Amino acid sequence: MTLDLLVRARHAVLPDGDRACSLGVSDGRIVSIGPPTDASAAEQVVELADDEVLLPGLVDTHVHVNEPGRTDWEGFASATAAAAAGGIATIIDMPLNSIPPTCDVPSLTVKRETAAGQCAVDVGFWGGAIPGNLAELRPLYDAGVFGFKCFLLASGVEEFPPLDDAGLERAMSEIASFGGLLIVHAEDAAVVVDAPHDRRYGSFLDSRPPEAENRAIARLIELSRATGCRVHVLHLSSAGALPMISAARARGVRLTVETCPHYLCFESGTIPDGATQFKCCPPIRDEANRDALWQGLREGLIDCVVSDHSPSTADLKRLDTGDFGAAWGGISSIQLGLPAVWTQARTRGFALADVVGWMSQHPAELAGLAGKGALAMGSDADFCVFAPDAEFVVDAGRLKHKNPITPYAGRTLSGVVRSTWLRGACINSDSPTGRLLSRGEA
């Protein structure tokens, strides 16, 4: 058999461990995995440098692309170019903050038509569960969304309102009836208070205490047991919820959990006053909490690490006033997640295989992306060529997402993405070849 591509790596993170190998690619899929071999039967040969490791392309299931409607915040071209620069080969777009939000089939059609031809990486879509759209959930699922997102408190945009307790239970019962997945921004509205207009990060942090997450997650566990609905907790920041998550799983509750690079890299004690680029919801908490989240990853209680890339324009971040009460809550990091997490993980005794599990394998499993997330026979030939020992200083102006705002600016990170490959072709964001994915077809 003549291969389209043969990739030879001295180090590759495979499902059975880190080893030297040659991966053969034909028609965009991995068709052979073996020891380094002669390259005469391949049309193209890529040999990785001694300092490079071959990883599966990452899968980021939590990205706010914001197009159409808020394309000055971000868009499919810029978001997917940034994803590719960060080693990500597949993203799933959140149903907000686009206008219209993806809460019915016509809105999904608009979003797919808008994305077509713009995407440097493969893109799938979440649907939304909001008040009044219960009858739209099954049609959206049949149309190919990967699951449904809801909020339990105000989302920050008026066109995507939260579910109250009765609405949450109805949505979970409906989603359970067809075997779907509900992904939840889990903060209890009764515990959260309006952040004061203040430059002090501590004032904002106090407005969204850990108890807001803990109460919301407890209610999700209760309703998941009652309805049988599979539930995924988004962007966990409160490590105090980990014991109940562990207990719920032991009782058979179908519950998965993600966290984000910013909760693993930063801690509240070092966030300067007025530094609204750090504002996100739920908030970044203290150092002990950060350490406990890492322990949750070690114990397998947290399944995924995804970006929650939630950009906005500079004026909405209130960088001029540093007003945490008025600033948009969202962190731009899709291009930096892999080196940010690896920088911290390696100092805590984790291996690249652990990072691959959190940032590729498990997100792919969460969404049911059978051909993604691993360097395995029959999978899409999605690769990340990563130099784990190389370092760089983050220059926000050189990032590919649309607005050059990030809390990582000026930080030295370990690990450089040298290239990202999609179905056996090196990604060139100027010539986008990403596909639009549907559940069951991905």
Amino acid 114: pLDDT? 98
In this predicted structure, the answer to whether residue 39 has a pLDDT above a threshold of 70 is: no
What is the predicted pLDDT for the residue at 36?
78
pLDDT at 110: 98
Instruction: Say if residues 423 and 381 touch (Cβ distance below 8 Å).
Output: yes
**CA distances from residue 369 to 115, 227, 375, 437 in whole angstroms, order as listed:** 19, 25, 13, 9
What is the C-alpha separation between 326 and 322, in angstroms, rounded? 9
* 367-394 mean pLDDT: 98
Rg, C-alpha atoms of the chain: 21
| Residue 442 confidence (pLDDT) | 59
Tokens representing 198 are 């203040």
pLDDT tens for 244-267 read 999 999 999 999 999 999 999 999
Residues 323-332, mean pLDDT to the nearest whole number: 96
Mean pLDDT for 167-171 is: 98
Which CA distances in Å does 159 have to 100, 141, 275, 329? 8, 20, 28, 17
Give mean pLDDT, residues 77-94: 98
Q: In the predicted model, is pLDDT for residue 40 greater than 80?
A: no
State pLDDT tens for residues 96-105. 999 999 999 9
> What proportion of the chain, given as a percentage, has pLDDT over 70?
99
Overall average pLDDT of the 81-96 stretch: 98
Domains and CATH numbers, the chain: 5-47 (no CATH), 57-369+381-410 (3.20.20.140)
Question: Is pLDDT of 51 > 70?
Answer: yes
How is residue 295 written in tokens?
């322990």
Residues near 181 by Cβ (< 8 Å), separated by ≥ 6?
Answer: 146, 147, 148, 175, 230, 231, 232, 366
Percentage, residues of the chain above pLDDT 90:
97
Mean pLDDT along residues 381-406: 96
Assign 371 a pLDDT band (cuts: 50, 70, 90). Answer: very high
Q: Which pLDDT tens digit goes with each residue over 176-207?
A: 999 999 999 999 999 999 999 999 999 999 99
User: What's the confidence (pLDDT) of residue 174?
Assistant: 98
Give the model's confidence band at 327: pLDDT under 50 very low, under 70 low, under 90 confident, else very high.
Answer: very high
Mean pLDDT of the chain: 97
